[in-house]
């Protein structure tokens, strides 16, 4: 945003103030060579050199005019339409892996002013089961988790099973996770399950046994806030572990909807490209 503002202001100042002396210099040069015909001017080295010197823009003005349109287009795309992100941690495994490059819809939940996060146009509302990019209450950096609690919802986890408004969220076992559990808090192999929240089905990795401090704890989501959890249920810093567990609506950035590339090491891969469930 700073780059767009600076280059745009320079362009505007040049248009209003700095371009006028150059125009006057060009007119003076034309008057100096008024005896030449258009054909003679095109072949006259002195005239061409004088015109070039009179019309020459300062370097910072030239660069600002070149970069401003590109910066403005990128800024509008990233701020109001679609922004790319790279997944840095395993908190959303198996849905998202480290090195996944994802696309985030910035207008799905309304158009917001960049930086200030003020909603200026209400388009849609976050829904349970959405994969959401947001700022947590305690940090000014992007997080990505699954939204499991809407305003007014009562959230509880019993034996690593999610309950929303005292209703158990169905989990269908898929199999064991081949990733080693050693060095983690789980004493047995991780389990992959299909979890269904409302009309959305997604994969979750979890430890089959309970034991975390947040098991059996109950949270009631206040108005204008949301409750977030990672799909890697035993390896995710989310609403269950924050001092302030609820994400305010103004901290919502957008809805993650697609993986478009994977690049962790070596060559980029497009084998994981597709919609995010």
For 117, left (φ over 0), alpha (ψ -120 to 50), or beta?
A: left
Decide if 145 is catalytic.
yes
Tokens of 22: 């150059």
Catalytic residue among 56, 89, 106, 145: 145
Q: What homologous superfamily is domain 87-275 in, according to CATH?
A: Umud Fragment, subunit A (2.10.109.10)
In terms of residues, how long is the chain?
277
For residue range 110-150, what is the model confidence (pLDDT) as tens digits? 999 888 888 999 999 999 999 999 999 999 999 999 999 99
Tens of pLDDT, residue by residue over 69-98, are 999 999 999 999 999 999 999 999 999 999
Query: Does the bond joining 57 to the residue before it have cis omega, within 30 degrees of 0?
Result: no
The CB density around residue 42, as the number of other CB atoms within 10 Å, is 10
Active site residue 200: no
What distance in Å separates the CA atoms of residue 221 and residue 230, rounded to the nearest whole number? 17
pLDDT at residue 35, rounded to an integer = 92
pLDDT averaged per 10 residues in sequence order, the chain, 277 residues: 95 95 94 92 93 94 96 94 95 96 96 88 95 95 97 93 96 87 73 95 89 80 98 93 96 97 91 95
DSSP character string of 22-60: HHHHHHHHHHHTTTS-HHHHHH-HHHHHHHHHHHPPPHH
Q: Which residues contact 134 (CB under 8 A, 6 or more apart)?
A: 142, 143, 144, 145, 226, 228, 247, 251, 252, 253
Q: What is the mean pLDDT of the chain?
A: 93
């Amino acid at each position: 945003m700073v780059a767009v503002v600076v280059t745009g202001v320079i362009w505007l100042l040049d248009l209003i103030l700095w371009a006028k002396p150059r125009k006057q210099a060009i007119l003076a040069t034309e008057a100096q060579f008024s005896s030449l015909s258009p054909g003679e001017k095109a072949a006259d080295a002195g005239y061409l050199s004088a015109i070039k010197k009179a019309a020459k823009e300062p370097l910072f003005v030239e660069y600002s005019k070149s970069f401003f349109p590109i910066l403005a287009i990128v800024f509008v795309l990233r701020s109001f339409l679609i922004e790319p992100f790279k997944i840095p941690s395993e908190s959303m495994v198996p849905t998202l892996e480290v090195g996944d490059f994802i696309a985030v819809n910035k207008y799905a939940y309304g158009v917001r002013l960049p930086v200030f996060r003020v909603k200026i146009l209400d388009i849609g509302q976050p829904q349970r089961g959405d994969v959401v990019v947001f700022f947590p209450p305690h940090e000014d950096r992007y997080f990505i988790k699954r939204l499991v609690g809407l305003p007014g919802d009562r959230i509880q986890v019993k034996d690593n099973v999610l309950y929303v408004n005292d209703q158990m969220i169905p989990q269908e076992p898929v199999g064991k996770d081949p990733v080693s559990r050693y060095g983690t808090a789980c004493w047995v192999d991780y389990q992959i399950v299909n979890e269904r929240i409302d009309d959305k089905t997604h994969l979750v990795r979890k430890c089959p046994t309970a034991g975390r401090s947040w098991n059996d704890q109950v949270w009631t989501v206040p108005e204008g806030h949301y409750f977030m959890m990672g799909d890697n249920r035993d390896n995710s810093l989310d609403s269950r572990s924050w001092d302030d567990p609820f994400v305010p609506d103004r901290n919502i950035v957008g809805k993650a909807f697609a993986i478009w590339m994977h690049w962790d090491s070596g060559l980029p891969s497009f084998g994981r490209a597709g919609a995010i469930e």
